[in-house]
Amino acid sequence: MCPRLGPIVPQRLRNNRGMRTVRHLIIAYAAPPTVQQPDGGAPPPAPPALPALQQALAHATPQAQHVGDAWSLTPPHEHAYAQALGWTVADGQLPWAAWHAGRVGVGCAWLWPCAWQAGLDHITIVPPQALDVRPHEADALRRALAPYAADDGIVLRGDDPVRWHAEGAPFERWRSASLDRVAHRRADGWWRDAGSDPAARTLLRLLNEAQMLFHDHPVNAERAARGQLPINGLWISGAGRWDGSGVAASQTDVRLVDDLSVPATRGDAAVWAATWQTLDTTVLAPWLAEPAPDAAPRWLTLCGERGWRTWRLEPGAAPPPPERRPWRDLWGRLRGHPPATAPATATWWSGL
């Protein structure tokens, strides 16, 4: 989803420029997911076996960490990404939409078509990644909303069915939770009161108009016929005005990998573990094996719900093969001595 965004933050690792230029790799939701709410449920399980990651961390140098709040509007992977780009991090006010579009000095945001599911005392947000939003559906809904948005000085663009680009002055100071924070969760803990801010009142009115327009729209009748949830609301994120500072989206050597976002926000530990193992083999291992052309260090940042940690990877610092000592371990067990404990890197996710 990230800049869940992935959903929210752009610039995935796998691109046509290859992995050679990637200096800093950020993995969203690398720590085991919690269930539904970030501060509720049983303790999360340990990650699966990740040999490439463990080998990398065994000889990496801890560089930095951020311990945040599970209820911050900006999730750790967006925080880490913004900091790596040299931005000043303001919670809930990172101009991802403007940066991704290369729009300098213009208020921009992403509008995400969602399903707002009403419960007895709360509303749950189902993100577009779980809704099978088809291009013609998104186009019809966006065109229906466009005249109302234009009345408020907002222009909608349809470069992505699940993430609409919007421009207008009301987005310049809009502060909101990332979609990754609200996906498959109660919206009431993340919702913003308009207060006395005219721009906020404008945007909240636009969101209400979207709900009314989408409710009886033919698109949702079509979706119901194929067993899909209705698209009956929007979520705003990535809002703000980019001042042009830092590296442009097309030139950055920082990459966010967000493959773990969907299973993590759903609380699906089994799919999350399987996806992590795939990433370890197909993304992390090749990236670690790729020699740096200028012998410069690289950085790896692992994120969870609350914080992130960054390690510095020196070129050529490949760890030695593991020591094989099955008979020594067996003899130790027979004598009542357990084998040596796992290295400290085994708990890299603690506190994330």
Q: What is the pLDDT of residues 154-196, one digit of tens each?
A: 999 987 999 999 999 999 999 999 999 999 998 887 876 666 6
Give the number of other Cβ atoms within 10 Å of residue 77's Cβ.
Answer: 32
Question: For the residues 2-25, what does the mean pLDDT come to?
Answer: 50
Distance between start and end Cα atoms, the chain: 19
- Say if residue 112 is in the same domain as residue 71: no
Structural domain contains residue 347: no
- Say if residue 231 is in the same domain as residue 256: no
- Say if residue 99 is in the same domain as residue 227: yes
pLDDT of 137 reads 97
Give per-residue pLDDT as tens, 277-311.
Answer: 999 999 999 999 887 767 789 999 999 999 999 99
- Say if residue 230 is in the same domain as residue 99: yes
Sequence-ordered alpha helix ranges (H) in the chain: 51-58, 76-84, 96-101, 135-151, 179-182, 198-215, 218-225, 261-266, 269-279, 285-289, 326-334
pTM of the model: 0.85
Give per-residue pLDDT as tens, 80-97.
Answer: 999 999 999 999 999 999
- Give me the residues paired with residue 61 across strands: 312
Structural domain contains residue 336: no
Q: Which of 35-44, 120-129, 258-267 has the lowest mean pLDDT?
A: 35-44
Q: Which residue range forms the structural domain that includes residue 138?
A: 90-245
The encoded tokens of residue 49 equal 């076996």
- Say if residue 125 is in the same domain as residue 218: yes
Give per-residue pLDDT as tens, 22-58.
Answer: 899 999 999 988 744 445 555 567 788 999 999 999 9
d(CA 288, CA 56): 7
Give how many domains the chain has, as a whole number. 2
Domain holding 199: CATH number? 3.30.70
Give the number of other Cβ atoms within 10 Å of residue 248's Cβ.
Answer: 13
